[in-house]
Amino acid sequence: MQAEPNKSLVGQEYEVEIGPVAHGGHCVARTDGGQVLFVRHALPGERVVARVTEGEEGARFLRADAVEILQASKDRIEAPCPYAGPGRCGGCDWQHVKPGAQRRLKAEVIAEQLKRLAGLTPEEAGWDGTVMPAEGDKLPAGQVPRWRTRVQYAVDPATGKAGLRRHRSHEVEPVDDCLIAAEGIHELGIERRDWTGMQSVEAIAATGSQDRQVVLTPRPGARLPLVDLDRPVSVLRVDENTGSVHRVHGRPFVRERADGRTHRVSGGGFWQVHPKAADTLVTAVMQGLLPRKGDMALDLYCGVGLFAGALADRVGDKGAVLGIESGKRAVADARHNLAGFPRVRIEHGKVDSVLPRTGITEADLIVLDPPRSGAGRSTVAHLTTLGARRIAYVACDPAALARDLAYFRDGGYRVRTLRAFDLFPMTHHVECVAILEPAGKGA
């Protein structure tokens, strides 16, 4: 006899005290019965009415929104964005929080993940416990930096209007203006056009050039609209069957400027979304690694060659750089961007399969900027056998970073320094740069 499903608790409301911030843009609370609630739109120390959005009786935890604030935190402000709040746009987690408090919350999450997953205190990680804002982002409460140079708009199939997804939902929240979208995105006027027949519209505003691009993903059988925006723009189309990207008109790439060089990024490929991010991260990595002339360096998950180019500049003609990247378009772009460095080689494939095949047994320096899931135990174990003087780990997820730092420790490396940067204001995301060295060095 099939057991009866547990009763859904969606819509149930609880009056709760909000506890600490947790990884993922929410805070932790408990019902009177002891069930864990992950509550969005709340702040530590507040008393709120939390309405369940996901979960059932007997579940390990429930997800909820704070729908009424009974006792507010001193760090709470009125959300500047009219689309933020329970049941609305899911793009920003912390619109209701003062900017300085947002960075403190992110620091608390980093510290908690380091302790829980790597057994490290901030002092042991060489971290001062702060999250630094990007240049120009330190604004008064209520002002929002327009920082996002790549915005993926979803299209409401009923109205053809562009918007953003609601939290953990496929439903579209139509918007007239995304407040964190860069001026170059805002100027295109995406939100004011009819996109009937499209699944999504990605808008890109390059940093350091006037390049603007939209990447259209049509619904099956739909024809592309005539794209008439408020600024000149290139148009690309995603093939609905293969996922490949094709040029409709204009350039198939944008030109991004960082570290004194221009980088070609094709087909809506990956580039840091904050206009200050690329330079900020290159500076942090190079200051941590201190490359020397003649060094042999690895740039793993190298994308279009941002760190590989910075390393090549600094190791000189007698040095060498090997980059490894799994995306075909990114590899082609990296080879184009680094054509002026004869001692740079870019290999295509996954790091864990390509690196062993290269036959490389030694490296002086390593940079890795893995995807959100991290590098993983086997890749880290391989890296620790190469004898690198220093390793720079660039991470967009503090949990994955902490897990991998524990693996590095198992392989004989310790964290020398860690720096954290708020390159995603109003969201829970944060970027970290950890510099590692052999455990016996400088201890």
List of residues 6+ apart from 224 with CB closer than 8 A: 197, 216, 218, 235, 237, 248
The answer to whether the beta carbons of residues 173 and 166 sit under 8 Å apart is yes
Residue 100's closest CA among 122, 127, 73? 73
Tokens of 12: 């149930």
List of residues 6+ apart from 440 with CB closer than 8 A: 412
Count of helix runs (H) and strand runs (E) in the chain? 8, 23
2 among the known binding-site residues? no
- What beta strand segments (E) does 224-266 contain? 234-238, 245-249, 253-258, 261-266
Phi and psi, residue 407, nearest 5°:
-65, -40
Q: Is 422 helix (H, G, I), strand (E, B) or coil?
A: strand
> Hey, how many other C-beta atoms are within 10 angstroms of the C-beta on 156?
15
92 is catalytic: no
Tokens of 414: 């310790």
Q: Which of 92, 302, 396, 432 is catalytic?
A: 396
173 among the known binding-site residues? no
- How far apart, in whole angstroms, are the C-alpha atoms of residue 17 and residue 61? 16
Its sign, for the CA torsion 442, 121, 99, 178, is: positive
- How far apart, in whole angstroms, are the C-alpha atoms of residue 420 and residue 107? 8
301 among the known binding-site residues? yes
Write the burial class of residue 435 (CB in 10 Å: 0-12 exposed, 13-18 middle, 19+ buried). buried
Phi and psi, residue 190, nearest 5°:
-55, -45
- How far apart, in whole angstroms, are the C-alpha atoms of residue 42 and residue 65? 8
Q: Which residues are catalytic?
A: 396
Output the known binding site.
272, 301, 325, 369
Output the known binding site for S-adenosyl-L-methionine.
272, 301, 325, 369
